[in-house]
Amino acid sequence: MYSSDFGKDFLWGVATAAAQIEGAANSYGKGPSIWDTFSKRPGKTKKGHNPSEACDFYHRYKEDIALVKTLGFNVFRFSIAWSRIFPLGNAVLNQEGVSFYHNVIDECLKRGVTPMITLYHWDLPEALSKEGGWTAFAINSAFNEYALFCAKEYGNKVKHWIVINEPFGFTSLGYMLGVHAPGQTGVSNFFDAALHTAIAQADGAKILRAEVKDAIIGTAFSCSEIIPYTQSGQDLLAAKRVDALMNRFFLEPVLGMGFPTAEWDVLEKFAVTHSTWRHQERMKFDFDFIGIQNYFPLVIKYNAFVPVVQAWEVKAKNRRVPHTVMGWEINADSFYRIIKQFAAYPEVKNIMITENGAAFHDKVIDGKIDDPERTEYFKAYLAAMLRAKNEGVNVTGYLAWTLMDNFEWAEGYQARFGIVHNDFKTQQRTIKQSGYWWQDFLSK
């Protein structure tokens, strides 16, 4: 299996995010983001790590984009840090930040690498968070102002766009469970944030469609195949509730189907109290591609003691199945099935894998970074994707997570997903053996 098996127009890339790689968090006019603030709170990230320096991509972007080209990829996905453009979230513009992204884009184009911009990858300006963040209705006008600026500023050079990264991920982890920024908790906060995010997802896409000629517009959903622990009625119903929340809750409104209320009365109550027909129309958009980001399946069993959802994950290690250092199950067949699940919607005309990868304990052998588990992971998952593609699923691209080890949110610098090793003390980049495997794979 080589890249040529997927067709000559297939997009191969690496995905990154501003807060995870840029650094220069308090420099060059950038305002603080919720992750700058959240990571300073004791106990919120592993070992108290924060993104203030990260991978220093801000100063090393030329070197890193050269690495993308050297490894053979033709797409570099990166996000714009909202607070680097608008330090206070809106109104006041930071020209240094604007120029930085022009430089990144120009370097990509110079190297023959297609730039793909994510408008929002979890790093909300702290100033907007203080006003309620995604739980506040005002966030939509602020986001639209930001999206309009980016479309007008960069749209003549950038044609590939992702509006929002993993809406369920950041609304559930950041506004319901409190384990990610901004650290809020409660079902009410989650539902408020979810509604405004679903609106922003379509609003941003409509702005890009209007402002960017020949734009190729997508949005990126985290997804997991949901597997009931047993075939008992309660486990089956619990799995359906989790699937509705994790896989369908943000996708189906985009497709014009509204929120998935049939499986769960809690979602029906939410839809009745939060959503009108006007919301349903506003949340709909005909995306050029749907980005899916898959790392693991979830095995779910009924648990009456878990509030609201009454479901519980049966961990991979407890089931004694292969898993990464994050405890995430390795299951390429499940990756195939989730691609098929999303492709089964008639309205989904094009799927791109906008993130997929794994964290392992890399080994240094004779000066080389040896990570055979990661290489085998990619081989298995790409084979599963090719199987789906050969069965007629219109999969048009794959973006590996990630180019280099980085600030992995609440995991800090502990979890390494990169195909390039980064020494965070020296910022020395070293291509891992998995990176060299990619180089060979993409050359044929």
* Active-site choice (107, 126, 225, 355): 355
Topology (CATH) of 3-442: TIM Barrel (3.20.20)
Element (H, E) at 431: strand 428-431
Q: Is residue 355 flagged as an active site residue? A: yes
Position 272 scores a pLDDT of: 87
Given a contact cutoff of 8 angstroms between Cβ atoms, the answer to whether 236 and 228 are in contact is yes
DSSP 311-346: EEE--HHHHT--B-TT--B--HHHHHHHHHHHHTST
Position 279 scores a pLDDT of: 87
Side-chain half-sphere CA neighbours of 142 within 13 A: 29
Site of tokens 């794979």 = 441
Query: Whole-angstrom Cα distance, residue 322 to residue 329?
Result: 6
Q: Does the pLDDT at position 193 exceed 80?
A: yes
Element (H, E) at 78: strand 75-79
Closest CA to 119 of 265, 226, 18, 267: 18
DSSP category for residue 347: T
Q: Does the pLDDT at position 431 exceed 80?
A: yes
pLDDT tens per residue, range 330-346: 999 999 999 999 999 99
Give the number of other CB atoms < 10 A from CB of residue 369.
21
Q: Find the mean pLDDT for residues 190-201.
A: 97
Closest CA to 203 of 219, 221, 191: 219
Position 263 scores a pLDDT of: 81
* Active-site choice (22, 107, 153, 166): 166
pLDDT tens per residue, range 84-119: 999 999 999 999 999 999 999 999 999 999 999 999
> Looking at this protein, which amino acid is placed at residue 434?
S
Position 277 scores a pLDDT of: 73
Please provide the average confidence, as pLDDT, over all residues in the chain.
Answer: 97
Q: Does the pLDDT at position 28 exceed 90?
A: yes
- Name the residue ranges covered by the structural domains of the chain: 3-442
CA distances from 315 to 243, 307, 322 (A): 17, 19, 11
> Where does the pLDDT of residue 238 fall: very low under 50, low under 70, confident under 90, or very high at 90 and above?
very high
Q: Is residue 391 flagged as an active site residue? A: no
CA distances from 64 to 22, 40, 317 (A): 11, 27, 35
Query: Whole-angstrom Cα distance, residue 184 to residue 176?
Result: 6
Q: Find the mean pLDDT for residues 146-164.
A: 98
Position 239 scores a pLDDT of: 98
* Sign of the torsion angle spanned by Cα atoms 185, 269, 243, 276: negative
* Sign of the torsion angle spanned by Cα atoms 348, 351, 354, 356: positive
Q: Does the pLDDT at position 275 exceed 90?
A: no
Residue 364 three-state SS: strand
Position 233 scores a pLDDT of: 97
Query: Whole-angstrom Cα distance, residue 183 to residue 170?
Result: 10
Higher per-residue confidence, 273 vs 412: 412
Element (H, E) at 15: strand 11-15
pLDDT tens per residue, range 317-327: 999 999 999 99
What angle do the packed helices 57-71 and 95-111 form, to 10 degrees?
Answer: 20
DSSP 180-192: STT--B-HHHHHH
Strand 226-228 to strand 420-423: parallel, antiparallel, or no bridges (unpaired)? Answer: unpaired
> Where does the pLDDT of residue 63 fall: very low under 50, low under 70, confident under 90, or very high at 90 and above?
very high
Percent of the chain with pLDDT over 70: 100
DSSP category for residue 307: T
